[in-house]
């Protein structure tokens, strides 16, 4: 199997504003390379998520003539053909994590939003176990005119609710599979976010950094377009 059996959606970005992203988990390296090559040749760019370390190394070798933006922490990569220019929409979002263990999911969201043309500011390791770490940096972040926030948290999943109670912009909560015991693997975090009493918080599925980054970028890009700073 070399990827030829895949039905590729080359028009997704034009239709949805969100590029197609190759989900690497469960695919062989040959399949991943073939699919990403098809996107580079057709659209000038390819994105991949849930990529194994060896796969990232192979992509760098296979696409030596391209710009390969590998993000090992995110298990993701973007490949740009020579001359390709990533869009710049004027949209701006923030990405926060409760702990350093949540960074891989946050970095996945960050890559997707950047590839959708957004500027992304990151604020990591500001969870409720040390809430004093959050307040001043969050105030500074909100002062940079972000249109939405992605907040990743595992364990009790409390940080998105706290942020949603303070921030005047939409918050996308991402429960991460960090935790143990009765609510381990993200279940407690997911339920806590869904049960929030803070308005303005929406929740994606466990570890879904792609979905969170895409949603935040859509919000930011629409706002930038409405303000006349970016294309409609």
Right CATH for 92-226 from 3.40.50.1970, 1.10.3720.10, 3.10.620.30, 3.40.50.300: 3.40.50.1970
Sheet of strand 148-153, all strands in order from the earlier edge strand to the far edge: 119-123, 92-97, 148-153, 171-175, 201-203
Long-range contacts of 33-37 (CB under 8 A, 24+ apart): 33/3, 33/58, 33/59, 33/62, 34/2, 34/3, 34/4, 35/3, 35/6, 35/8, 36/63, 36/79, 37/62, 37/63
pLDDT band for position 232 (cuts 50, 70, 90): very low
Question: Under DSSP, is residue 61 helix (H, G, I), strand (E, B) or coil?
Answer: helix
- Look at residues 163, 211, 153 and name the one whose alpha carbon lies nearest to residue 186: 153
Higher pLDDT, 7 or 133: 133
**4 has pLDDT over 70:** no
Question: Under DSSP, is residue 43 helix (H, G, I), strand (E, B) or coil?
Answer: helix
**13 has pLDDT over 90:** no
Domain range summary for the chain, segments of one domain joined by +? 12-80, 92-226
The pLDDT of residue 6: 76
Higher pLDDT, 66 or 4: 66
- For 18, residues 6+ apart whose C-beta sits below 8 A from its C-beta are 12, 112, 116, 214, 217, 218
**205 has pLDDT over 80:** yes
- Look at residues 104, 106, 199 and name the one whose alpha carbon lies nearest to residue 152: 106
Percent of the chain with pLDDT over 70: 96
- CA dist 192 and 156 (Å) reads 7
- CA dist 40 and 47 (Å) reads 9
**Is pTM beyond 0.85 here?**
yes
Q: Region 17-45: what's the mean pLDDT?
A: 94
pLDDT band for position 9 (cuts 50, 70, 90): confident
């Amino acid at each position: 199997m070399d990827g030829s059996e895949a039905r590729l959606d080359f028009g997704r970005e034009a239709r949805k504003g969100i590029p197609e992203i190759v989900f690497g988990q469960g695919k062989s390296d040959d399949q991943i390379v073939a699919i990403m090559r098809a996107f580079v040749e057709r659209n000038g760019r390819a994105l991949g998520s849930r990529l194994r370390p060896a796969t990232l190394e192979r992509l760098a070798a296979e696409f030596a003539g391209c710009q390969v933006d590998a993000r090992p922490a995110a298990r993701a990569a973007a490949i740009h053909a020579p001359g390709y220019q990533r869009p710049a929409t004027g949209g701006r979002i923030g990405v926060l994590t409760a702990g350093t263990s949540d960074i891989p999911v946050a970095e996945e969201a960050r890559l997707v939003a950047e590839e959708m043309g957004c500027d992304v500011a990151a604020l990591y390791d500001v969870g409720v176990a040390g809430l004093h770490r959050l307040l001043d940096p969050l105030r500074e972040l909100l002062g940079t005119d972000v249109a939405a926030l992605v907040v990743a948290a595992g364990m009790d999943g409390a940080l998105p609710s706290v942020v949603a109670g303070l921030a005047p912009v939409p918050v996308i909560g991402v429960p991460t599979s960090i935790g143990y015991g009765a609510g381990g693997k993200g279940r407690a975090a997911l339920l806590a976010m869904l049960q929030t009493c803070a308005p303005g918080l929406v929740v994606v599925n466990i570890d879904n950094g792609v979905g969170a980054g895409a949603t935040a970028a859509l919000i930011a890009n629409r706002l930038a377009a409405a303000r006349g700073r970016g294309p409609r």
